[in-house]
Amino acid sequence: MLPMNHPTSGNELLRGGYDYTNPNNPLQYTPASPYDLGFKWTANSQEAELLVNWDNGKATIWAHDQGGESLEVPQASQAKMTLGGSQVANADFSADWYYCNANNTHIFEPTNLAFTGSIGQTAKLNWNFSYALTEGSTDTIASELSLSTTGTNPKASISYQLTLNGDLTRGTDCFTEGFDVQSGSFTFTSSAGSDSFTFHINVTGIQLDQNGNPTRVDLSGYVEENGQRALTFSGYLDQDDLNGQDTCPGENVLLSFRDGALTAEQWLQANGYCR
């Protein structure tokens, strides 16, 4: 039997160069240093090339999935794409993989991920994504994503920030079995030129019954349009709201608009959304 840290044949990251500029006669080539993987093809009558460096300052490692398969995974990678010799895209990736002390091996479950880059020349789409799991007396999952344009008229962007606090449980193989959320927040923002929109919700507490079903969720938040607060809300959802038994939920959530306040239930009734 192979030891747990022994790589399984065939699960290595792909390497080498593959030239498909002539589809009828594909060739292999050696990618330029420091890249491990390359693809060439023809796009818009120009040669396109994608290059990937799997170990950009940190060596790849082997991690096991829940089926026991060993997979080669990157810790820091870099990629770029060129068209006619000019760079049109780039990306950087990094990851931390959970180390299972019980089995003396990394597992195929990340504790941190980061992915940044852009595509385009004069007009670009830029992205930035992150994920982080922090374990302690309270476990936290945090994730962010932003997409934005440069060189466009108007410039535009969308983004979100998500944080979940709770209790994470792991099995004997160290893989996550569940995550009981106790609180969290979510913010979504978009903009195009001078127009902007923001939605934010903060969950300060979640009460569960003996079966793990939510019986009460305390929350607050707001909506902003072009930098002006259009709506704030606060209150709680009760068990009937959460299990769908209430034909018109939200009697305990107060909505405050610029011109007055009413409950979420009253707002739903006024707009014909209640059953």
> If we measure between CA atoms, which residue out of 226, 229, 233 comes closest to residue 258?
229
| pTM confidence score | 0.90
Average pLDDT, the chain: 94
Report the distance separating Cα 55 and Cα 61, nearest Å.
10
Sign of CA pseudo-dihedral 225, 140, 99, 7: negative
Per-residue pLDDT of the chain (275 residues; tens, 9 = 90+): 223 343 445 799 999 999 999 999 999 999 999 999 999 999 989 999 999 999 999 999 999 999 999 999 999 999 999 999 999 999 999 999 999 999 999 999 999 999 999 999 999 999 999 999 999 999 999 999 999 999 999 999 999 999 999 999 999 999 999 999 999 999 999 999 999 999 999 999 999 988 888 999 999 999 999 999 999 999 999 999 999 899 999 999 999 999 999 999 999 999 999 86
Burial class (CB in 10 A: 0-12, 13-18, 19+), 258: exposed
Res 212: pLDDT: 83
DSSP string, 18-50: EE-SSTTS-EEEPPPTT-SEEEEEEETTEEEEE
